[in-house]
Amino acid sequence: MTQIYDAIVIGSGISGGWAAKELTERGLKVLLLERGPAVEHGVDYKNEMKAPWEMPFKGFNNPKLLAEHYPVQSKGMNFDEWSMPHFVKDTEHPYQTTANLPFQWRRGYQLGGRSLTWGRQCYRWSDIDFSANQRDGHGVDWPVRYADLKPWYDHVESFIGVNGTKEGLPQLPDGIFQPHMPLSAIEQLLADRIANNYQDRKLIPGRSANLTEAKDGRAPCQFRYICHRGCSFGAYFSTQSSTLPAARKTGRLTLVTDTIVEKIDYDHVAKRASGVQCIDAKTGKRTSYTAKMFFLNASAFNSVGILLRSRSETFPNGLANSSGTLGHYIMDHATTLAVAASVDELNDRSYFGNRPSNFIIPRFRNLEQDSEDFTRGYSFQGVGFRANWQRGARAAGVGQDLKDELMQQGEWRLLMVTFAESLPQKSNRITLSTQLDQWGLEQLDIKLLHGENEKKLLQDAAIQARNMVGLTKSKIYASFDEPEPAGSAVHEMGGARMGHDPASSVVNKWNQSHDVANLFITDGAAMSSSANQNPSLTYMAFTARAAAYAVQKLKAGMI
Say what the alpha-carbon torsion angle 196, 199, 204, 209 is, to the nearest 10 degrees.
180
Cβ atoms of 260 and 302 closer than 8 Å: no
Which one, 223 or 549, has the nearer CB to another protein? 223
The CA distance from 81 to 343, in Å, is: 30
CA pair distance 364, 377, nearest whole angstrom: 7
Least distance in angstroms from the C-beta of 121 to another protein = 15
Q: Report the DSSP pairing between strands 30-33 and 253-256.
A: parallel
Question: Where would I find the H helices in 392-448?
Answer: 399-406
Minimum distance from residue 196 beta carbon to another protein (Å): 19
Residue nearer to another protein on the CB measure, 176 or 387: 387
Q: Which of 283, 287, 285 is nearest to 275 (CA)?
A: 287
Min separation Cβ 308 and another protein, Å: 37
| Smallest distance from another protein to CB 155, Å | 28
Binding mask 194-233 for another protein (x = CB under 8 A): ---------------------------xxxxxx-------
User: Is beta strand 96-97 parallel, antiparallel or unpaired with respect to 442-447?
Assistant: parallel
Interface with another protein (CB under 8 A), residue from 158, 287, 354, 438? 354
With binding defined as CB under 8 A, does residue 413 bind another protein?
yes
Binding-site string for another protein from residue 125 to residue 164, where x marks contact by CB under 8 A and - marks none? ----------------------------------------
Q: Which is nearer to another protein, 215 or 224 (CB)?
A: 224
Note whether 160 and 209 are within 8 A (CB). Answer: yes
Check residue 179 for interaction with another protein (CB under 8 A).
Answer: no
Q: Which of 27, 52, 71, 137 binds another protein (CB under 8 A)?
A: 52
Of 4, 43, 46, 57, the residue at the interface with another protein (CB under 8 A) is 57
Using CB under 8 A as the binding rule, the residues of this chain from 457 to 486 that contact another protein are none
State how far the Cα of 59 lies from the Cα of 385, in Å rounded to an integer: 20
Of the residues 35, 292, 386, 514, which one makes contact with another protein according to CB under 8 A = 386
Distance CA 302, CA 174 (A): 32
User: Closer CB to another protein, residue 129 or residue 187?
Assistant: 187
Instruction: Please identify which residue in 176, 406, 471, 517 interacts with another protein, judged by CB under 8 A.
Output: 406
Contacts of 253 (CB under 8 A, 6+ apart): 20, 24, 30, 32, 247
Alpha helices, DSSP H only, in 374-511?
399-406, 452-469
* Contact range with another protein by CB under 8 A, out of 25-33, 168-176, 246-254, 378-386: 378-386
Position 98 contacts another protein (CB under 8 A): no
How many residues interact with another protein (rule CB under 8 A)?
A: 63
From 33-41, 47-55, 164-172, 320-328, span contacting another protein (CB under 8 A):
47-55
286 touches another protein (CB under 8 A): no
Residue 413: CB minimum distance to another protein, A: 7
Q: Decide if residue 62 touches another protein (CB under 8 A).
A: yes
Tell me the window of 138-146, 294-302, 402-410, 426-434 that interacts with another protein (CB under 8 A): 402-410
Please check whether residue 72 is in contact with residue 446, taking contact to mean a CB–CB distance below 8 angstroms.
Answer: no
350 is a site residue for another protein (CB under 8 A): yes
Q: Please, which residue, 95 or 233, has the CB nearer to another protein? A: 233
Q: How far is the CB of 64 from another protein (least distance, A)?
A: 4
User: How many residues appear in the chain?
Assistant: 559
Q: Which of 249, 271, 403, 473 binds another protein (CB under 8 A)?
A: 403
491/123 Cα distance (integer angstroms): 13
> Shortest CA distance to 7 belongs to which of 33, 30, 40?
30
Interaction of residue 393 with another protein, rule CB under 8 A: yes
Among 63, 71, 151, 170, binds another protein (CB under 8 A): 63
Q: What is the DSSP string of 176-237?
A: --BPP-PPPHHHHHHHHHHHHH-SS---EE--BSB-SS-BTTBPPP-S---GGG--TT--B-
Nearest CB to another protein, comparing residues 389 and 549: 389
Looking at the Cβ atoms of 214 and 406, the one nearer to another protein is 406
Angle at 502 between CA 499 and CA 508, to 5 degrees: 45
Q: Which is nearer to another protein, 331 or 339 (CB)?
A: 339
Out of 102, 143, 410, 502, the residue judged to bind another protein by CB under 8 A: 410
3-class secondary structure, 302: helix
Nearer to another protein (CB atom), residue 348 or residue 372: 348
Minimal distance in Å, beta carbon 224 to another protein? 6
Please state, in angstroms and rounded to a whole number, the distance separating the CA atoms of residues 102 and 96: 9
Report the Cα 553 to chain-centroid distance in Å. 29
Contacts of 354 (CB under 8 A, 6+ apart): 223, 224, 225, 226
Whichever of 65 and 256 has its CB closer to another protein, that residue is 65
CA dihedral 513, 516, 519, 525 (to 10 degrees): -30
User: Among the candidate windows 16-24, 129-137, 267-275, 342-350, which touches another protein by CB under 8 A?
Assistant: 342-350
Contact window for another protein (CB under 8 A) among 19-27, 406-414, 444-452, 484-492: 406-414
> First CA to last CA across the chain, in angstroms?
20
56-88 burial, b at 16+ Cβ within 10 Å, e below that, comes to eeeeebeeeebeebbebbbebebbbbbbbbbbb
Q: Among 274, 272, 325, which Cα is nearest to 526's?
A: 325
Report the residue from 59, 85, 143, 470 that binds another protein according to the rule CB under 8 A.
Answer: 59
Task: Establish if 49 lies at the interface with another protein (CB under 8 A).
Answer: yes
Q: List interacting residues with another protein (CB under 8 A).
A: 49, 51-53, 57-60, 62-65, 67, 181-185, 187-188, 221-226, 340, 347-355, 383, 385-400, 402-403, 405-410, 413, 415
